[in-house]
Every structure is written in structure tokens, then in C-alpha cells.
Amino acid sequence: MGVSPGPLRQVPDYWNVFGHSYLIFTVGTLWQTGRADAIFRGSMDIEHNNWRNYASTGAMLTQEGRQHGGYARVLQEVTRSQRTAPYAADGGAAVLCYGINDMGNKGVTTQLRTAFQHALRTCISRWRASSIRENNYNLGTSPGQISYGAGFTESGGTSEFSSGTSIHRATSTTNATITITLPSDYGGEPVVVCWVGAAGAFGATITFSGTAGVTGTLSTSNIMPSGSHCPVVRRITNLTAANAGQTIVMTATSIDASGAAEFDCWWIEATNPPPVIVCNIARLTAAGYASYPNTVTDADVATWNQAIADVVAEFDGMVQIADLDAALNKDASLIFTDGVHPNEFGAARIADALLAATKRLTPTTSLGNAAHLNVSAPRSGQLLRPRLSGHWYTADSAGIGATYTAVAGDMFALPIQVTGSRERWIRFAVEAIASVTGTSIRWGIYDDIGASGYPMCLVTEPTASGAFTITTGAGVKMSPASGTGSLNQPLDPGVYWLVIKFTAVGTSHTFRTLKGPSLLLPNLSTGGAGSITPSGWKLTGQGTGVLPATFPAGAALSDNCPYVGVLIN
């Protein structure tokens, strides 16, 4: 008997997911394996190590801040080299699932809906990027260079709403010009310039000119209500290889009072654009709508879904919509009792919608299916680390280290891998050696979805409402089993960081530590010497406040770090 015929077209083998709780939390389903993303992955036989889940509970596409899982996470996590031709895609396929939280938490105004479109356009295009040039890329010295008039100056500390760590800003129209020189090997791919949209009337009007023949204007004013930024991109899609070596000039021709023109970066989209699936917004039950502070109706959802469709229509057949609204059809039997989140049956319907969208993907060049559907991606090997329910675990180490004497402001991060799909951490613990009063700590979990070897975004901090007080006496000190300060965290497979910060310290309070080396940390010094055996990263002078949304840069490798234990459910 012959084998069954294969599929008509190959399917993408590496996926990245950005969005809200439909794709990351377990509200509605008992296990993570019952979620829509897990069912979709299973239906396509995609292994965990070919899957990166950047989704975040409560994520809003228009919310700045990497931790919140919106556009800033896409800009920060989707990095590409400054490669020259061929302008090939990288990273695999992507799913974007946003909207209902933007509507429910921020409102359904025309301004916010337009901002959502700006952010969605940015994120779709960013995923399709082949070569990204940050605002400070080889200024004036190489192909693809950026040259600034004297009116633009670099401003740092912008990573919560920008692509890199800085932007270029002009507060006056005097000499406020930016010149991009297209590379000599440019082949006519879409060129995308990314500006920072202003919160309120504090933006600018950008006018285009240059030898490449690009004209028109772009406004960055009044993109968002007060208190938040939002990216604004222009996709230049009418250039050809004949424009190689020519210039695109952007001039701030007007700036709002007390405002600024803020340039973020630019990129070239890939010749072989990769798969992007955009989920539309599902209507909720009355209870679901009532759970949000702003009024949302079925008619509002329809209007926003049309806005999503309008943005997707700007792209080619490698961007498709997954119709979540039709899949759930406001059917209470497919939705959890909160009226928002799908149960296992609703999750399966969503997976079907994702599959249907995948089948509609249409390669746009003569390069072939594989060049579009299975682009280069950071695939990795498989590892399994079994963990037994009811037992405690911490980071890998060489054993127990020398006792640590606590210092206020010290913060440590220890790496730990999750390799199973049904792992839930339900308590934290540290071990005090000395019996001292007056010590309090904060502890939490940071992710590292790209396995960079350094903590990234805060997943959860049980002590966000108040530091945990170390009780008098030696021994294990555990977080509460329930209620305020407790932990109940399901985790997808990946690398995570157990973080502890000492906010106040009693006299000579000491703690049990782990001795390195850790297999997940650098094992030579910054100079290449074999003089270190680190068990974690250490920062000093971190104050008493809540853990930062993004782990601060500049930590030093450290041995004998106080351990944080986790209890497995």
C-alpha cells in the first residue's frame, strides 16, 4: 500500500508568537497544552524548540514598555543584522494577536484605533525586515548610512518605546534633516522609516525629498492620548534597483509647540517576505465586555476588525488574517466563564483559524515556496529536564557555595531552564543561615525567550505589593502558600531567571548560596581567562522599589549567589 499523499504546500517549521493571554495564560484551559497556540503547534507538529512565545497576559499592542508585550517588545526582540544583499528573511513565521485589551483598557476612539493601525503596520513590517539600521548606524560612513543635520541630536534611554537604545530628536526645524543613502546593492525591496509618534500635540510633520524621488509627508503629532508613545512608519514601496545609491531625505518642516521630531530607525524588508498571521478580534459575551473599564460593543469589534483588515491589505499574500471572531462566533460554550478567554474547545477553534490562515499564505516571488515559508530561523537542539511535583528546585550549580552576607540594594539573577509543557511554580524560598531581624527582599521571574544568556523582561513579581520580610531564625523562608505575595506561575519551555533583591538588611544577615559554574553563563572572564566560576549575575545599588520591568544592563558575573528555590506543583 502506498503512503498517503503529502500536503500540497509545505508548512512553516519555525514560529514566533506575539500577543495577549489567548496565547500565553491558562485562564480558560486547565493546562498550557490546551491553549490555542499549543493546539496549533501540535496540529503542525512543531517542536517546542522551534517555537518562541513572546505573548504576555494583558498585552496591548499600543502600550509602550517591553514587559507589556506590545509594539515595544516586537521592536526590541525582532532584531536583524545590517546585512547587504541578498536581502533575505530571517526568524521564521510570526503570529500577531492583539486588540481586545487595547479596546477595553484604552477605549475605542478613532485616535486609538488609528494608533493601533500604526503599531500593527510597524510590527508586520518589522517581522518582514531583512536589514535593520538603527538611528546611530555608522553615521555618514558606509552604504545604508544615516546623515543628520545639526538640528538632530541623539537621545538615549528610549528602549521602552524604540527599536534600539536611542533615538535622534530635533526640537527646532533649523537644520532638522536626515539623509538615508540606499545601499549600492539595493534591489527595490520596500524601504521602511520608523518615527516615534507623539502622545498628544507634541510631534512634527516630516517632509520627504531626495534623489530617489520619494515625496510626501508624515505626521507624528497626536498619535496617542497623553502619556504614551506609538511608532509611525512609512513603507516606501515604489522604488527599484535603479534607485541604489540614491538618497531619501526627511526634513522636519514643522514641530508642535514643546514638541519634537523623533527618528527611531529604518529597515529594508526581505526580498522573500516570511509568513505573518494576524489574528482579528473575537466578540465577547456580556460578562467579558463588562470585565473591562471601557465600554466595548460588538459594533466596535467589527469596526476594529475592518481596521485590521485594511492594514493587512497593504501587504502581499504572505500576510494573512486568522478570523478568531468567526471561529468563536460569540459562542458561550467555547468561552470560559469569565466571558473573555477560550476554553479547550474555543482554543481548538482558534487553532483551526490559524491553520486556515496558514493555508492561504501565498509566496510572492519566483524564488519558490521554501524561500518564503521556511526562512532561516534560530532552531536549536532538544533538552529535557524532568521535575517532580511537590519537590523544590533551583538553578544548576556545582553545589553549595560560601555564605553570602546580605547588602541592601544587591540584586542577583540565577538561570534555570524549563523544558516541560506542564510546569507550574507555586512557591519561592531562600535559606537564612543567621538569625537576624530587619531583612526584607523582593523576588521574581524574568524571561529570556531568545536564550540570550541575560535576563530580559519581568514575568511576575509576587512582592510587587510589598517586600517579603525574612522572619527571625535560621532555615528556609518561603513565600506565602496563597493570597498576597504568593506564587502560581505556569511557564512555557525556555530559559528563565530567578531574581532576588535585598531591600533592607539586618546586621550581618547571611544566606545559603550556590557555587558555580553554571552551564548557562559565560565560563571565562571578559578577558578570556579561566578565573571565574559564576553562578549568576549581580547588580548593586538597586534601591528598595519593585523589580524593574526590564532587567537592568550592566550586571557583573558573580559566584556564591544566594539561591532562590521554586516549588513545583
Question: Residues 224-256: pLDDT tens digits?
Answer: 997 789 999 999 999 999 999 999 999 999 999
- The three cell numbers of residue 564 are 532562590
DSSP 8-state class, residue 456: -
Q: Cβ distance 267 to 79 under 8 Å?
A: no
Helix (H, G, I), strand (E, B) or coil at 289: helix
Query: Closest Cα partner for 377 from 129, 91, 50?
Result: 91
pLDDT per residue as tens digits for the range 153-180: 999 999 999 999 999 999 999 999 999 9
In this prediction, residues 281-288 reach a mean pLDDT of 96
pLDDT per residue as tens digits for the range 418-466: 988 788 999 999 999 988 899 999 999 999 998 899 999 999 999 999 9
In this prediction, residues 24-37 reach a mean pLDDT of 89
- The three cell numbers of residue 147 are 546623515
Confidence check: pLDDT of 545 > 80: yes
| pTM of the entire predicted model | 0.86
Query: What pLDDT score does 383 carry?
Result: 78
Query: What pLDDT score does 6 carry?
Result: 46
Q: Cβ distance 151 to 253 under 8 Å?
A: no
Query: What pLDDT score does 3 carry?
Result: 47
Confidence check: pLDDT of 92 > 80: yes
Judge residue 339's burial from the number of C-beta atoms within 10 Å of its C-beta, 0-12 exposed, 13-18 middle, 19 or more buried.
middle
Query: What pLDDT score does 195 carry?
Result: 98
In this prediction, residues 205-217 reach a mean pLDDT of 98
Handedness of CA 149, 151, 154, 159 (dihedral sign): negative
Query: What pLDDT score does 529 carry?
Result: 86
Query: What pLDDT score does 142 carry?
Result: 64
Query: Closest Cα partner for 164 from 66, 75, 80, 235?
Result: 75
In this prediction, residues 130-154 reach a mean pLDDT of 87
Same topology, domains 9-128+272-382 and 130-269? Answer is no
Please give the mean pLDDT across all residues of the chain: 94
pLDDT per residue as tens digits for the range 470-480: 999 999 999 99
% pLDDT > 90, the chain: 86
CATH number for the domain whose boundaries are 130-269: 2.60.120.260
Confidence check: pLDDT of 149 > 80: yes
* CATH topology classification for 9-128+272-382: Rossmann fold (3.40.50)
Neighbours of 525 (CB within 10 A): 12
Longest dimension (CA), the chain: 78
For 61-104, the DSSP string reads TT--SGGGTSHHHHHHH-------SS---BS-EEEEE--HHHHH
Q: Cβ distance 19 to 322 under 8 Å?
A: no
Domain ranges of the chain: 9-128+272-382, 130-269, 392-568
Q: Residue 144 — pLDDT band, cuts 50, 70, 90?
A: low
- Return phi, psi of residue 66, to 5°: -60, -40
Query: What pLDDT score does 48 carry?
Result: 83
Q: List Cβ neighbours of 257 (8 Å cut-off, separation of 6 or more).
A: 201
